[in-house]
């Protein structure tokens, strides 16, 4: 099992870099994952990451991108509820990349 080391703490990840244990997640590991992909986390990124964590907490799944887009539009405003905005923040795909930083498993149905 691979692991990420941040400030002396070790986080287990799977072969694609997703956290093995959701409960291990903290902001440090999110920052470290983002830095490794040359992504600097801004407040806008955190809005999405926090949204994903809340969604997972409530429904026990990472939402599909289509569902995420719609839900973000409703919660954070129409200007943010579109895939262009989300892909600008997370160029590797909002589902994949944002879920990874949020410590969630890869979205169901996401290849």
Partner 1 sequence: MATKKFMYLNRKAPYGTVYALESLEVVLIGAAFEQDVSLAFIGDGVYQLVKGQKTDGIGMKNFSPTFAALGDYEVNKIYVEKESLEERGLTLEDLQHLVWEDEDDDYAEKDSIRLVNRSELADVLDDQDIVLSF
Which residues are catalytic, by number? 110
Nearer to partner 1 (CB atom), residue 17 or residue 70? 70
Q: At what angle do helices 43-59 and 65-76 cross, to 10 degrees?
A: 110
* Residue 75 makes contact with partner 1 by CB under 8 A: no
Question: Based on the number of CB atoms within 10 Å of its own CB, is 39 exposed (0-12), middle (13-18) or buried (19 or more)?
Answer: middle
Nearer to partner 1 (CB atom), residue 34 or residue 55? 55
Residue among 4, 32, 39, 71 that touches partner 1 (CB under 8 A): 71
* Residue 74 makes contact with partner 1 by CB under 8 A: yes
Please calculate the CA angle 21-26-69 and round it to the nearest 5 degrees: 85
Nearer to partner 1 (CB atom), residue 10 or residue 108? 108
Question: Hunting for tokens 């902001």 — which residue is that?
Answer: 27
Residue among 58, 78, 79, 84 that touches partner 1 (CB under 8 A): 58
């Amino acid at each position: 099992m691979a692991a990420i080391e941040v400030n002396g703490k070790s986080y287990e990840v799977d072969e694609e870099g997703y956290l093995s244990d959701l409960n291990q997640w903290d902001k440090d590991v999110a920052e470290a994952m983002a830095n490794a992909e040359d992504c600097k986390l801004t407040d806008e990124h955190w809005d999405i990451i926090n949204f994903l964590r809340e969604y997972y907490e409530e429904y026990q799944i990472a939402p599909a991108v289509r569902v995420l887009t719609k839900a973000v539009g409703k919660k954070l405003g129409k200007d943010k509820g579109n895939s262009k905005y989300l892909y600008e923040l997370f160029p590797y795909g909002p589902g994949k990349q944002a879920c990874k930083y949020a410590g969630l498993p890869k979205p169901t149905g996401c290849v």
